[in-house]
Structure 1
Amino acid sequence: MNTLKMTIVIAWRNLWRSKVRSAVVVLAMAVGIWAGIFLSGFSLGMNEQRTDSALSTYLGYAQVHPNGWSEEPLVNLFIPNLKEVEEASKQIPDYVAHTSRLNITGMASSARGSAGVMISGIDPARDTLVCDLNTRLVEGEYFPPSERVSYAYVGTALAEKLKLQLGDWITFDFQNVDGYSAGSRYYIAGMFKTVSSAYDKSTVQVLRSDLTRDIEAQEGVAHEIIYKLADKESSREWAEKLSAEFPDLEVESWQEVSPELGYADDMMAVSLYIFIGIILFAITFGILNTMLMAILERKRELGMLMAIGMNKRRTFGMIVLETLFLGTVGAPVGILLGHLTIVSTASTGMDLSSVGEGLNAYGMDSIVYPVPVPDYYFGIALMVVVMTLLASLYPAFKALKLNPVEAIRSV
């Protein structure tokens, strides 16, 4: 025990005999780990905001469609047992609210252009319980009472493309339930802006009752049901329970409706370790160089220790410990700095308005709130230990090959 303690003390003192060189390696490791942790928290925060925004704006936590909808969303393909599904879904734990919608594709036209759009017929009273598009209006009022005018709400990106303003009229052309061409004029009562410019450019909201009339369908029909649940993580299990009761319907969680959102977190986790691994791999060469220089400078000293009886096992262990100390000092500092940086920016956010349009194209907000990633700290610490241990092997074997007599005579 005394021998091990002595070896540890000697290794620690040897490490700081060249304070500047050791400090540079420790600082490089700390900065690299800090950068990796902060970038990971930043990326995870960005992805989490993107997911939450999509769920709260238009995607919902789970969706129900008639069988065959995913292959070909026909206008006359309605959910056959709508009321029964709505009532049954309320009995499944974690249910919060739902809204039923009509969704048809059509052509939106103004006096200055046209574009293909998805026309969504909603019930505002129920839709606001599930989605928050009403809070994202930049102009107008959300479905004010009216018996004479059919209101339409368009995204700012679509309004810009068609050169629409509040109070203008927009014409929709589509097919009715019998397959014939139909159309209707709507009054632009409001414009919304979400974090997804693609959604803003392709989606229009109207009253479900107005769209039901225009496509000449029966009252109360719907193409989809969107659900809000208590927990987004349990949505897959919740959807499976509802699907078991209605196997003739397409019941999907948000991960299945939009798999790229579901995969993003897993991709981020893998990317974190790859990024940190690359940083540590680069720093390993710095550690390797530091230890080789230390052995070269202490060649005579190591020869003296071997000559007075220090065996190869203790010499090997001393070099390995010196290398590990570099990692055990640099890693905690880097992890602490990364965590503190994320915590300090998590509440205020980071304003990326200068590249906001590019972020919006991918459904991301221009203000990003990083999130702490403590689940990865142990993995990072383990990677540091492994990489520094590997970096210690070559210098340690190099020290073992020293000839004590020749080493003592060296200058």
Structure 2
Amino acid sequence: MAALTIGIIGAVEMDGYMTGLTNQRVDAAIANEVSDIQLHNPGFLLNQETKYLIPHAGKKADEIRKIANVKAVSVRLKGAAMASSANAGAGISINGVVPDDEYRVSDLHDHIIEGTYLNNKQKIPAVIGQKLAKKLNIGVSDKLIVTMTDSTGTITNGAFLVVGIYKTSNTDFDKSNVFVTRKDLANLIGYPTNAGDEIAILLNSNQHTKAVTKKLNTLFSAEVKSHKLIIQSWDQIQPLLKSMVDMMNYFSYLFLIIVLAALTFAIINTMLMSMMERTREIGMLIALGMNKRKIVRMVMLETLFLSIIGALVGLAISILLVDYLSIHGLDLSSFAKGLNSIGYSSTVYFQVNREFYFTTVIVVVLLAILASIPAMMRALKLQPATAIREED
């Protein structure tokens, strides 16, 4: 029972850790980096050049807002640029956004650690990541010089005032993304203020991603077929992240199988030892007339009772631990630098699917039945006369 309890706790907690870690990464990517769904001009995805605009982006955004389960929509004007200060320079992706729309689509405003988020009352504002701020050695109220190509292909420069510094769990994102207002960026590079080369869509739940993506493909089917528009969900934008989620799910069940396989040998060993210690008792029962069917039933029920009680105790403790860690989290701040470098938070909030609990109980019961077979076979082979003379 103790072995089962400890094994199940280990398997469930490991699943909770891996599921929580991957789900947090997906949620963070959707909330801060890619959103649930994005629309682009195919040329933009190939070249990352601002000139590949989405035709009538504002009108499309209004149509998308009418679709069920769409929570918010943001039209962005993006491009590659060089950011510099008096001390250093760095390549960046500059994001021109409408502050109110971006506030609803992205959680970036929740990650501001200095200054404020963008708003339309500020003059040429910019919000930058903490990593980039340290690299350029600038802070709030300092100027950020941006160099990029304008609509005519000419190199142009512009100065933005840093009004806020953000910090997410992804250091690569922080050091390469600058957010400004779409109006200011459009004026700098000579595009209409309502132009956009990316439409970001946030849904009420990412479980609706496939359904909404299908509706969008139907709504803009003509442009999709003529290769003027491409619609991608978060897992298509970041396939590596999707693969990691699938891999973590696979390893959760693999770890459970390994733990339960080890427990199976423990059950077999325990039941065989039990039969050896009770040889005279079983021999006496057979001599008194107990048939083989009842011997089998006795061994199987004993194994099942021990296994079910051990499994239930293990699950009860596991559920309590998962509930606690889902609220308070597991603090891995000592590994924060390494985790943040690959986009993971240093505090992991555990999550376990109900299916995993159910699967664990079923597998434990089945393994207990299988594990009782060797003990049953030994009991059935006993000869009453020999068994009764067996020394303790």
- The alignment's TM-score, normalised by the length of structure 1, stands at 0.87
Contact 1:33 1:334 in 2 (8 A): yes
**What's the CA shift for 1:266?**
4.1
Structure 1 residue 160 corresponds to structure 2 residue 140? no
Aligned to 1:72: 47
Structure 1 residue 190 corresponds to structure 2 residue 164? yes
Aligned to 2:21: 46
Give matches, 1:211-226, under 5 Å.
Answer: 211-226=185-200
Structure 1 residue 150 corresponds to structure 2 residue 130? no
The DSSP-based 3-state class of the residue aligned with 1:68 is: helix
The DSSP-based 3-state class of the residue aligned with 2:340 is: helix
**What's the CA shift for 1:146?**
6.2
User: Deviations along 1:224-265, whole A, 9 cap, x unmatched?
Assistant: 011122222102211211121213211122232223444555
Where does structure 1 lack aligned partners over 5 or more consecutive residues? Answer: 1-25
Contact 2:182 2:193 in 1 (8 A): no
Selected match of 2:59 from 70, 84, 106: 84
Contact 1:273 1:380 in 2 (8 A): no
Q: Give the counterpart letter for 2:273 in structure 1.
A: M
User: Deviations along 1:48-103, whole A, 9 cap, x unmatched?
Assistant: 33222222223222111113333332221000132331222122111222111111
CA distance in 1, matches of 2:159, 2:35: 29
Structure 1 residue 279 corresponds to structure 2 residue 254? no
Aligned to 2:103: 128
User: Deviations along 1:268-288, whole A, 9 cap, x unmatched?
Assistant: 443332222211111222211
**What's the CA shift for 1:372?**
4.7
Structure 1 residue 330 corresponds to structure 2 residue 310? yes
Aligned to 1:316: 296
**What's the CA shift for 1:211?**
1.5
CA distance in 1, matches of 2:141, 2:198: 30
The DSSP-based 3-state class of the residue aligned with 1:70 is: helix
CA distance in 2, matches of 1:373, 1:404: 50
The DSSP-based 3-state class of the residue aligned with 1:226 is: strand
**What's the CA shift for 1:131?**
1.3
* Percentage of matched positions with identical amino acids: 35
Give matches, 1:192-207, under 5 Å.
Answer: 192-207=166-181
CA distance in 2, matches of 1:124, 1:146: 10
The DSSP-based 3-state class of the residue aligned with 2:43 is: coil
Aligned to 2:85: 110
In structure 2, do the counterparts of structure 1 residues 303 and 274 end up closer, same or farther at CA, with 3 Å as the change threshold? Answer: same
Give matches, 1:1-400, under 5 Å.
Answer: 26-143=1-118, 150-247=124-221, 248=223, 249-400=229-380
CA distance in 2, matches of 1:273, 1:48: 16
Q: Give the counterpart letter for 1:337 in structure 2.
A: I
In structure 2, do the counterparts of structure 1 residues 141 and 301 end up closer, same or farther at CA, with 3 Å as the change threshold? Answer: closer
The DSSP-based 3-state class of the residue aligned with 2:90 is: strand
CA distance in 1, matches of 2:58, 2:322: 47
User: Deviations along 1:343-391, whole A, 9 cap, x unmatched?
Assistant: 2333333333222222222323333322353232221011101222221
The DSSP-based 3-state class of the residue aligned with 1:347 is: helix
Deviates more, 1:89-98 or 1:355-364: 355-364
Q: Give the counterpart letter for 1:198 in structure 2.
A: D
In structure 2, do the counterparts of structure 1 residues 93 and 37 end up closer, same or farther at CA, with 3 Å as the change threshold? Answer: same
CA distance in 2, matches of 1:376, 1:132: 30
CA distance in 1, matches of 2:165, 2:318: 40
CA distance in 2, matches of 1:308, 1:59: 75
CA distance in 2, matches of 1:367, 1:123: 31
Where does structure 2 lack aligned partners over 5 or more consecutive residues? Answer: 224-228
Deviates more, 1:356-365 or 1:122-131: 356-365
The Cα RMSD (Å) is 2.2
The DSSP-based 3-state class of the residue aligned with 1:28 is: helix
Contact 1:76 1:178 in 2 (8 A): no
Q: Give the counterpart letter for 2:209 in structure 1.
A: S
**What's the CA shift for 1:193?**
0.8
CA distance in 2, matches of 1:399, 1:113: 80
Aligned to 1:7: none
Q: Give the counterpart letter for 2:374 in structure 1.
A: Y
Contact 1:153 1:206 in 2 (8 A): yes
CA distance in 2, matches of 1:155, 1:198: 10
The DSSP-based 3-state class of the residue aligned with 2:45 is: coil
Contact 2:49 2:80 in 1 (8 A): no
Count the aligned residue pairs. 385
Contact 2:150 2:189 in 1 (8 A): yes
